[in-house]
Chain A
Amino acid sequence: MSFCLETYLQQSEDYEIHISKAGFRECAKLIKEKARKTLYVKAGEKILGARLIGIPPIPIGIDKEKKTVMIPYTKPCYGTAVVEIPVKEEEIKKIEKLAIK
């Protein structure tokens, strides 16, 4: 079964919120600064079962050693957060295939 971000965030506590209730630009900057490696995707690309919302190109932080990804996560009344989530290697490979830079 493929990963579903919404369900994961509701049902698991195994994730880290680096910033919340922020603007998209601030979150994108934080990902670029904190991530070991940053890949970029188009706005609306489906990552971890959810469409990524934001101003393209949207950064995704990748840590292959920790097997985590950092993504911006936007909700209309809460602004944007950056969440770091443990993922399987295959999810990182999927992101690498979708990356535009």
Chain B
Amino acid sequence: MKKALILLGCPESPIQVPIALYLSYKLRGMGYQVTVTANPAALRLLEVADPAKLYLDKTSDLDSTLDSLSEAEYDLLFGFIHNDAAMAYFITFDSILKIPSIAIIFERDAEILNTIEIEVKENTNSHIISARAHHNPNPLKIRIDKFLDRLED
């Protein structure tokens, strides 16, 4: 079974949890074993939203996941990036794993969004899914759906 890792950032953005649950659900449907890694605050939000684990598969603490991470431990990496710290984490995970990766970049400020996109482009070979977004998950959902459709083909 193929394994996907979803890396979350700080949970301050309202759309991170619904999009992460949606992505986990879609990837499970495509036959992936999905692990979501995040800090304890972000994991608590996910676990409360999905107590029966209908959408989530595995969850893991960010620091311990990073500490034991090794090259090609997963097949696919998704990173939720809406600030500088999440970008730094994503680039680090990408550098260690050396696997196909997808940066999901979202911010309401177009300038910050653009800066993050440029940094990710310059420092990884990741596919970039980005949208100006804060409360409305649809712009990202549509782009994720398009990407997953291509992945399945």
Expressed in whole angstroms, the Cα–Cα distance for A88 and B63 within the complex equals 25
Expressed in whole angstroms, the Cα–Cα distance for A42 and B12 within the complex equals 29
Question: B67–A80 contact, CB under 8 A?
Answer: no
Question: A76–B92 contact, CB under 8 A?
Answer: no
CB of A53 within 8 Å of the partner chain: yes
Chain A: which residue is nearest B12 at the CB level?
A77
The interface residues of chain B, by DSSP majority, are classed as: helix
- Distance in Å: Cβ of B25 to nearest Cβ of chain A: 23
A residues 41-63 in Cβ contact with B at 8 Å = 42-44, 50-56
22 A-B Cβ contacts within 8 A? Answer: A6-B63, A24-B84, A24-B88, A44-B66, A44-B96, A51-B67, A51-B69, A52-B92, A54-B91, A55-B88, A56-B95, A74-B85, A74-B88, A76-B39, A76-B85, A76-B86, A76-B89, A77-B10, A77-B39, A78-B85, A79-B83, A80-B85
Question: Which 4 residue pairs are nearest across A and B when measured between Cβ atoms?
Answer: A77-B10, A43-B95, A44-B96, A23-B84
List chain B positions with a Cβ less than 8 A from chain A.
Answer: 8-12, 38-39, 41-42, 62-63, 66-67, 69, 83-89, 91-93, 95-96, 119, 123
List chain A positions with a Cβ less than 8 A from chain B.
Answer: 6, 23-24, 42-44, 50-56, 74-80
